[in-house]
Structure 1
Amino acid sequence: MIFKVFYQENSTETPVREKTQSLYMEANDEVEVRQNLKEQPFHIEFVEALSDKHLAYEEGQPGFELWKK
């Protein structure tokens, strides 16, 4: 399953919507996504499982790339 992760690049700053970044990761569940990213200096805001239609849309967007562990 593919997940879209919304995050702030700096975990020490207050989250600001305009600075929210996103990445895509393949994992079995949300827990696995969070475990794979726990060493990153990110402030994870939200993890969303993508449906097939949503994934097809996201794959058509510029910059779509799966996160490599």
Structure 2
Amino acid sequence: MIFKVYFQTSIKEVPVRENTKSLFIEGESVRDVRSKIADRGFNVEFVQGVKGAYLEYEKQNEDYKVLEI
């Protein structure tokens, strides 16, 4: 399944909504996705499963790229 991860780039800074970034990653569960990106130093805000029409919508975005770990 594809998951969309909302995160801040630095775990040491206070989260600011305007600085939130996102990436897509394939995994089996939210726990699996969090463990895959744990070593990157991201301040993960939210992990959301993406499927169906929402996934098709996201694929139309030019920034859509699934991170392979």
| TM bucket, shorter chain | over 0.9
The number of equivalent residue pairs is 69
Provide the aligned C-alpha RMSD in A: 0.6
Equivalent-residue separation in structure 1 for 2:48 and 2:5 (angstroms): 6
Q: CA deviation at 1:51?
A: 2.2
Q: Residue 39 of structure 2 aligns to a residue in which SS?
A: coil
TM-score, with structure 2 as normaliser: 0.96
Q: What amino acid sits opposite 2:9 in the alignment?
A: E
Give the gaps of 5 or more residues in structure 1.
Answer: none
Aligned to 1:51: 51
- What TM-score, normalized to structure 1? 0.96
Q: Which runs of 4+ in 1 moved over 2 A?
A: none
Q: Which has the higher strand share?
A: 2
Query: What 5-or-longer segments of structure 2 have no aligned partner?
Result: none
